[in-house]
Structure 1
Amino acid sequence: MSNAATQAVPEPVGRERVAAAAASLGIDVELVQRPAARSLHEAAELLGIEPAEIVKTIVVKRRSGDYLFALVPGGRKISWPPFRTLLGVNKLAMPDAETAFRATGYERGTITVLGATSALPVYADERILRRGGRISIGAGEHGWSAFVDAAAYLAAIGAVTADLTEPEDPQS
């Protein structure tokens, strides 16, 4: 047996996992390399889109110890009281970066439902679906963004949509 034959094939990482997961779900995904951004508005400008078209995938922990994904449009944040009511729980928290990595296989800033190492329930703010069209999501790897059709993505990942967010800046 040759040495090459005995070496393990590396697991796909980052954007490769995202692309493979999207293909398995029948979702068209466009992966775009981009420079690092210091803010949501800078990221949107670099990608040529509006901030609300960037959808953050946030890992949330329930008191019971299990996790879920919350999909939040740019410029908004989770509104905890209605989210807890929807889930029928009285406590939710955002885990630290290492815990989020263990739950998803992705580092913060790259997290996406596509190719995550755990199949977690997904809750999406209804504004994502209402807005429709293409959205940018994490691509599983720093320096990359993934673009998907919002409706096709939410349907394929089985997202529950609800009013989950509020403006990040209450003055806007």
Structure 2
Amino acid sequence: MARKAGGGTPATEVLEAAGVAFSLHPYEHDPRAASYGMEAAEALGVDPARVFKTLVVDVGSDRPELAVGVVPVAARLDLKAIAGALGRKKATMADPAAASRSSGYVVGGISPLGQRTLLPTVVDESAILHETILVSGGRRGLDVELAPDDLVTLLGASYSPIAR
């Protein structure tokens, strides 16, 4: 897979700086799309099992503590599973405004890469079944394709069965 320069997002800048092989996959975003991830899979003609969405969760008990789950777009995040993977008792979906503030991205364009604050991250173990996966490139209408192990390494993340 050829490394392509450009893209202009913090996510692509992280990939370029790390020298990780990736490719950009821009597509025309429809603001009326019900599911940003499924929209990407359909627009790019890619199996939804290879396209992953980035979800920000709150695992704090007394005060908000954010973390990230990366799961296939056709699946749902199992909140109990991600809490367990992070050594916590429970997880809830983060407030969208808090997710945007923390990541520096708009909802629907949140990338696991290049976030303002590196959060604890768990990638669904199904990612290892694929040579490459696609994640948001940091804006609606842009995905990046890379090896799942490269994603996990760059984020200091772990694999766990967090999708259902």
TM tier relative to shorter chain: 0.7 to 0.9
5+ residue gaps, structure 1, are 1-13, 167-172
1:19 maps to 12
Say whether the 8 Å CA contact 1:69–1:122 is kept in structure 2: yes
Q: Distance in 2 between matches of 1:101 and 1:82?
A: 23
Say whether the 8 Å CA contact 1:82–1:164 is kept in structure 2: yes
Deviation at 1:15, TM superposition (A): 3.9
- CA RMSD of superposed structures (Å): 1.8
TM superposition score normalised by structure 2: 0.83
CA deviations on 1:2-43 (whole Å, 9 max, x unpaired) are xxxxxxxxxxxx843122111222222222220125345443
Q: Match of 2:56, SS?
A: strand
5+ residue gaps, structure 2, are 1-6
The verdict on how the C-alpha distance between 1:143 and 1:161 changes in structure 2, with shifts beyond 3 A counting, is same
CA deviations on 1:112-150 (whole Å, 9 max, x unpaired) are 122110011111111111x12121111111221211122
Q: Distance in 2 between matches of 1:85 and 1:17?
A: 29
Superposed, 1:2-13 pairs within 5 Å as: none
1:165 maps to 163
The verdict on how the C-alpha distance between 1:48 and 1:92 changes in structure 2, with shifts beyond 3 A counting, is same
Superposed, 1:2-151 pairs within 5 Å as: 15-36=8-29, 38=33, 39=35, 40-63=37-60, 64-129=63-128, 131-151=129-149
Q: Distance in 2 between matches of 1:42 and 1:60?
A: 22
Matched, 1:153 2:151: yes
The verdict on how the C-alpha distance between 1:62 and 1:132 changes in structure 2, with shifts beyond 3 A counting, is same
